Structure 1
């Protein structure tokens, strides 16, 4: 072994020892290194993030914390919990002068905290299930998962939901393994956390422990842990947290919230691919090594051993956590990579247990080769995408795109080296650490710098320059009805369907401004002539609408007065 390799190994051993001495601090610092690049500089993304943040912003501005609206439309899809969390974040930042309601990152704070808390909960409760060292490894693996990193950057429900489910399932695991030591305080925490989860995303939070509980009852032919959960007062406690808002929103919307949230949103996702997010059964299995990159390979290597040890209580509990929930999401027609994320803490714990076991059964060579190929494929795939997307959209490469491939090569070399030694835990940790510069090259140095993707901030800049102080209600836009435009310019702006509508809107009142897409320009000009107005071009914003996959040019017009 070379001198450099020896020094590297000693440095890694030293860092590992410090992390084990201060595990929570180490995990928080790891999370911040993984999650903060790009957190503050990436503009509001379409569509879900901008919808959630705009709805929260309207709550903050109107003082109405019951209704959920985006612009003039009710958004009766998800409960209110994430909006309250985001509003609290905005109010706190404004009170301290650290941020404002115009900053999209202010609405991302609950997602960032949710991802960090999920990692800490994996360690905290994992200690009871699998021991301190394996729990620390599992927490680090979860922090590095690409899907968790992405969700930590997005102002919506899923990272916060992950924290509640991880904590609730950790408590459930304690009740399952040691029902005699599961106190009333533990039970109260379990039900309160589930109540928070219901306020975040409805039935998903209680679904996971419910499915796990049913699976355990069937497999164990009994439930000695059931009494420890204190259902007789725990369930009313959870309902007490949830029902006041449910009653309020039901009255305020005359029942529309439940009709649309359950009938249109939830059941719509079950039966068909909502908003074209369709995928075949097996989608999550096939995409797991991408979503769980870079350490997900440990879960695959551990799968056979985990199934063989399914009669052991800890492994049985973790499998009951994973399998039924996973199958439910595989059966649902609408599929997005983050849907199975509530199972990831259990998956990482299974992988960590196997990696830390000195008596483990080593995987076959073909599987090791396949996992090496998967790690390299995803790492270099990220690098190639980082190069291809800016070139496709703008024909030039930001600095980060040029760095992504070297960082991918470094990550692959480090992981392969440890895999060749059968140092599985070290391979996973080095993969996560090496993902920090790789993720940073994308999230900080590439994605936010592809100017063509960020249409709404540039529209806002043109309006600030050409029509300072314009009331958003006096601005209309056609051909680009994306929620990010509402967030950047204001929820009162008018979303217009056609070019003719833009011309009529402009003609109705002096001082108005419209943005017209290139496909609607001919209709706009024709109707403007019919209305007897002479629109004056005050600016253009050209970009790429990534939600529709096509370029667009928006022309901004005012009326020339005599």
Structure 2
């Protein structure tokens, strides 16, 4: 009996409620680990903590992490996260100290991106191919990961997919493109500016310029009504931009543009440098399990470039991809705005009954990389608990069989059922792989999640009255620790500062890293403090690449 009946894979793209089936697939792929995976370093916890401080302070203009201004990204995602937290607390489902409410905008953004890919993809590649392309997008590793991170990129993808869908409609049928659709296009781009500055408009602009040059005609752009559309786009972002400029006396623009955006273009910010070709080299992992199909489809897409739908998708994906390859700072999710177009191109080829086979070397390369990534995920999941906690995790041992089942099922379906069925089967069989990793393996680790364990140790002491005053830390200043232990956590410079903090008021607690123990004890002795150790937390700081031990102290009479 086949692993998955071919007739089900054939009927699913033509199901009566395609959006419902896509939504169910998305939830099955993304929900595991959403609540159980602890907050990560560094971007997620920085975003979540800044949003938490908005809720706590009621200041929805300035973005702060502790006492420090965070003038890097616009405010849109913080508003979305703050609204999510308020809704969760109002309904009594959780509280602002949990990370999952801050991840809900990422999950919702990814879901909207998948549904937008299907909705507007129908006009570009047809209904069946649009369904497959949306399912492939939902299962891509990079998007699955982004739904579990409380930051901007999944929400940004929703605006890009919607805006580019409307742009594609204007390109294919400018005569029927309404003013209402044009207003939607510019409004969505306005939202994207509030999420991540110029990225969304840049994708649309590059596609429009590419099509104008390739077609030697740009009359269709008039259907977008840019004379009032551009002011609408800018007007949506302008009130906050004016407010933040006044509130920070211009520092936001100096730091966001000069310090953040331009530094990423010219140099590898925060050690995230990569050579040109980085995204091509990592595509098999970022787009797993769909990458093999994209590689097979690209030659056919280039041959079919005179077809309006294919031409638009190529103009969407290619210049955006090349631009990010040229930028010095590289992270796997940067090319995500091009993924809907790539998945639709792959699906269009797979669903074409007259498709020409891909070159044998390219098919072999794609399938070989597919098996390599599947095996690597399984092996890495099995090794991770041992490397982190020196233990064998039975749940982690299940990932390799699940990944090999995925790879074997897709390969078998390729041979007897065709690429479309195989790709859809891959998206479905990815559910247990991601579920085991994100819902089983990673949350059960101990060493990497230092902040939550430190907060738990403090909470254990609180019922006895041991922890009454403030809390400070020396030697571990990662954002996840601040989010876990609270906004009032004091980040102290060295052991002497830790001793001074402890002696300043009664009831205070400090956590001292192993490298600062000697200096702390010497300073405490000089100050005449009687130290009591109330616990320790051992772990692995993965952002620094080293193990550490934090000891918790109080001063007693």
Do they superpose with TM above 0.5? yes
Match of 1:554 in 2: 550
For 1:301, which of 278, 296, 305 is the aligned residue? 296
Q: What residue in structure 1 maps to residue 418 of structure 2?
A: 423
Q: CA deviation at 1:369?
A: 2.1
Q: Aligned partners of 2:12 and 2:412: how far apart in 1?
A: 23
SS at match of 1:126: helix
- Are positions 1:192 and 2:187 aligned together? yes
**Aligned-pair distance for 1:158?**
0.2
Moved over 3 A (4+): 467-473
Out of 1, 5, 8, the position equivalent to 1:14 is 8
With normalisation by structure 1, the TM-score equals 0.97
Deviation for aligned residue 1:363 = 1.7
Confirm whether residue 446 of structure 1 aligns to residue 441 of structure 2.
Answer: yes
Tell me the equivalent position of 1:318: 313
Q: Offset at 1:418?
A: 1.7
- Residue equivalent to 1:124: 119
Over residues 315-351 of structure 1, what are the superposed CA-to-partner deviations in whole Å (9 max), with x where a residue is unaligned?
1111110111111111111100000000000000100
Tell me what 2:502 maps to: 506
Structure 1 SS opposite 2:440: coil
Q: Are 1:354 and 2:349 matched, yes or no?
A: yes
Select 1:535's aligned residue among 531, 536, 549.
531
C-alpha displacement at 1:471, in angstroms? 8.4
Q: Is the 8 A contact 1:122 1:345 kept in 2?
A: yes
Contact 1:398/1:450 (CA < 8 Å) preserved in 2? Answer: no
Structure 1 residue 368 displacement after superposition? 2.1
CA distance in 2, matches of 1:359, 1:422: 15
Shift of 1:314: 1.3
In structure 1, how many angstroms separate the alpha carbons of the residues matched to 2:351 and 2:183?
33
Match among 322, 327, 335 for residue 332 of structure 1: 327
Question: What stretches of structure 1 of length at least 5 have no aligned partner?
Answer: none
Distance between the aligned counterparts of 1:352 and 1:182, measured in 2? 26
CA contact (8 A) 1:472 1:491 kept: no
CA contact (8 A) 1:473 1:493 kept: no
C-alpha separation between the residues in 2 aligned to 1:38 and 1:481?
A: 25
Residue in structure 2 matched with residue 432 of structure 1 by the alignment = 427
Corresponding position of 2:399: 404
What secondary structure sits across from 2:40 in the alignment?
coil
Secondary structure in 2 matching 1:421: helix
Distance in 1 separating the partners of 2:35 and 2:272:
28
Structure 2 equivalent of residue 492 of structure 1: 488
Deviations along 1:39-84, one digit per CA (max 9) or x if unpaired, are: 1101111111100010000000111000100111000000000010
Deviation at 1:473, TM superposition (A): 7.3
Distance 1:240 1:492 in 2: 36
Report matched runs for 1:513-532 at 5 Å: 513-532=509-528
* Contact persistence 2:9–2:425 (CA under 8 A): no
Measured after TM superposition, the shift of residue 398 of structure 1 is: 2.4
1:14-38, CA deviations, whole angstroms, 9 ceiling, x for partnerless residues?
3642552221011000000000010
> Which of these residues, 156, 159, 162, is aligned with residue 157 of structure 2?
162
The normalised TM-score by structure 2 is 0.98
Report deviation, 1:93: 1.1
Structure 1 pair 473/114, CA: closer, same or farther in 2 (3 Å)? farther
Residue number in structure 2 paired with 1:381: 376
2:261 is aligned, of 260, 266, 284, to 266
C-alpha separation between the residues in 2 aligned to 1:367 and 1:221?
32
Cα distance between partner residues in 2 of 1:537 and 1:19: 62
For 2:22 and 2:220, how far apart are their aligned partners in 1?
A: 31
3-state SS, counterpart of residue 421 of structure 2: helix
Q: Secondary structure at the match of 2:220?
A: coil
Q: For 1:296-324, what per-residue CA distance to the aligned partner results, in whole angstroms no more than 9, with x for missing partners?
A: 21110011111112122111111110111
The residue number in structure 2 matching 1:40 is 35
For 1:286, which of 259, 281, 293 is the aligned residue?
281
Deviations 1:217-246 (A, max 9, x none): 111111121110000111111111100000
Cα deviation code 1:268-289 (max 9, x no counterpart):
1111111111111000011111
Query: What number of residue pairs does the alignment pair up?
Result: 555
Does the CA-based 8 Å contact 2:33-2:435 persist in structure 1? yes
Contact 1:141 1:296 in 2 (8 A): no
Superposed counterparts of 1:159-238, under 5 Å: 159-238=154-233
Structure 1, residues 526-555: CA drift from partner, whole Å, max 9, x if none? 111111112110000001111111111100
Q: Deviations over 1:378-417 (max 9, x none)?
A: 0110011111221111111323211001001101110111
Rounded to whole Å, the distance in 1 between the matches of 2:256 and 2:302 is 37
The alpha-carbon deviation at position 419 of structure 1 amounts to 2.0
The secondary structure found in structure 1 opposite 2:74 is: coil
User: Quick one: distance in 2 between partners of 1:530 and 1:92?
Assistant: 50
Contact 2:284 2:369 (8 Å CA) reproduced: yes
State the Cα deviation string for residues 454-503 of structure 1 (Å, max 9, x = none): 11111111111224588897111011101111111111211012112111
Partner residue in 2 for 1:136: 131
Is the CA contact (8 Å cut-off) linking 1:538 and 1:558 kept in structure 2?
A: yes
SS at match of 2:219: coil
Please provide the CA RMSD for this pair: 1.4
Give the counterpart of 1:545 among 541, 545, 549.
541
